[in-house]
Amino acid sequence: MVGTGLVASTSSSTLRMFAAASVSPRNSSIITAERIWLLGFTRSPVAACAALVVVGAGVVVFEVVSVLLLQRLARRSALGRVFGLVGTVSNAGKLIGAVVAPVLVDAIDLPRTLMAVGGVIGLVGVAAAPGLISLATSTRQDRLRLRPIVEVLGSLRLFDGASGLVLERLAGSLVTERVEAGRVVMAEGDPADDLFVVLEGDLDVTAEGRQVNDLHANDWFGEIGLLNRWRRTATVTTATPTVLWRIPGNEFLAALQDLSGAPEALLDVMADRLANTGHIEPRPTVTVEKAARRGFRGG
């Protein structure tokens, strides 16, 4: 009976909260504050449990949405420091709450303490609303702008298994290049720096003066040097006017780290290309993690 009442009393509010909180952390913080404040008026154990379920869900939603927002806003190299700071502030808040709450309960009783805490959280949520709305709007616009690029990247076997967030980071980092026919895009022996994805056009691949491959739309090149930390193993020349996406090498390796390794399609293509150019090693000689840690210094 209690379980039925609990589900009935919280289901509609919880569903509304999830729909709203998906837009901004502001909504989940305000809804959480509201339920804590209402606990001060509650005398029914069932109603109190229902309110606590909503409070717990609101906290979870707030944390998840906040993490996703930070991942989209912060540079990847700064994420560790950002989350370290967030964790420190969060734990400090819990410590302060553990010290202050008993004092307040003793001074003004439990119901008034709950109402006071809920009111403070609500005021903070309202005060932060303009900034949170601005951030949410900005990230939403960026996602819409990058969506066509993300869809193309997601269709490539090169990024099998990549999450939407990983693809968004790649889409935000790449540069579109239009190259005339007959131009060398990368030369054999050059330092490995970036990865290239072919959007339009045809390219010829030569090694030691002989043609070993040709590339077309949705192909990619440049991965061998990045993963092995080798100089370029072949020369790539445009056969027709070509449109390329240039992805920074460090972003490419970071994406593979998020994938917990290189996709099989990437390794298979590398094996074929290395065989065609006369190299005997069919797989990267270093792990993705080691390649990423070494960084890119043009050599």
Are 221 and 252 spatial neighbours (Cβ–Cβ below 8 Å)? Answer: no
* Residue 17 placed within a domain: yes
* Residue 228 placed within a domain: yes
129 shares its domain with 164: no
Number of domains, the chain: 2
CA 113 – CA 105 distance, rounded (Å): 6
- Which amino acid makes up residue 257? Q
| Full DSSP string of 97-129 | HHHHHHHHHHHH-HHHHHHHHHHHHHHHHHHHH
Query: In the prediction, which pLDDT does 143 show?
Result: 84
Query: In the prediction, which pLDDT does 260 show?
Result: 63
* Residue 203 placed within a domain: yes
121 shares its domain with 166: no
Closest alpha carbon to 198 in 222, 220, 183, 213 = 220
User: What's the gap between Cα 141 and its chain centre?
Assistant: 16
> Residue 218: pLDDT band by 50, 70, 90 thresholds?
very high
Query: In the prediction, which pLDDT does 48 show?
Result: 79
Are 29 and 129 spatial neighbours (Cβ–Cβ below 8 Å)? Answer: no
Q: Are strands 210-215 and 242-248 parallel, antiparallel or unpaired?
A: unpaired
289 shares its domain with 161: yes
114 shares its domain with 192: no
Q: Report the SS3 class of residue 215.
A: strand
136 shares its domain with 174: no
Domain residues for 282? 156-294
98 shares its domain with 230: no
94 shares its domain with 205: no
* Residue 150 placed within a domain: no
Q: What is the mean pLDDT of residues 150-165?
A: 88
Q: CA quadruple 160, 166, 168, 169: dihedral positive or negative?
A: negative
100 shares its domain with 23: yes
Query: In the prediction, which pLDDT does 185 show?
Result: 96
141 shares its domain with 162: no
The last residue of one of the domains, among 121, 145, 169, is 145
Neighbours of 232 (CB within 10 A): 19
> Residue 160: pLDDT band by 50, 70, 90 thresholds?
confident
The domain spanning residue 201 has which CATH number? Answer: 2.60.120.10
CA 108 – CA 246 distance, rounded (Å): 63
Higher pLDDT, 181 or 80: 181
The answer, yes or no, to whether residue 224 has pLDDT greater than 70, is yes
The answer, yes or no, to whether residue 120 has pLDDT greater than 90, is no
Query: In the prediction, which pLDDT does 103 show?
Result: 87
176 shares its domain with 95: no
* Residue 60 placed within a domain: yes
CA 287 – CA 235 distance, rounded (Å): 25
117 shares its domain with 169: no
Beta bridge partners of 200: 243
The last residue of one of the domains, among 145, 174, 194, is 145
The answer, yes or no, to whether residue 164 has pLDDT greater than 80, is yes
Higher pLDDT, 47 or 189: 189
Are 205 and 214 spatial neighbours (Cβ–Cβ below 8 Å)? Answer: yes
Query: In the prediction, which pLDDT does 262 show?
Result: 64
Are 72 and 139 spatial neighbours (Cβ–Cβ below 8 Å)? Answer: yes
141 shares its domain with 160: no
pTM: 0.62
The answer, yes or no, to whether residue 202 has pLDDT greater than 60, is yes
Backbone angles phi, psi at 206, to 5 degrees: -125, 150
* Residue 151 placed within a domain: no
The last residue of one of the domains, among 145, 169, 186, is 145
* Residue 133 placed within a domain: yes
* Residue 47 placed within a domain: yes
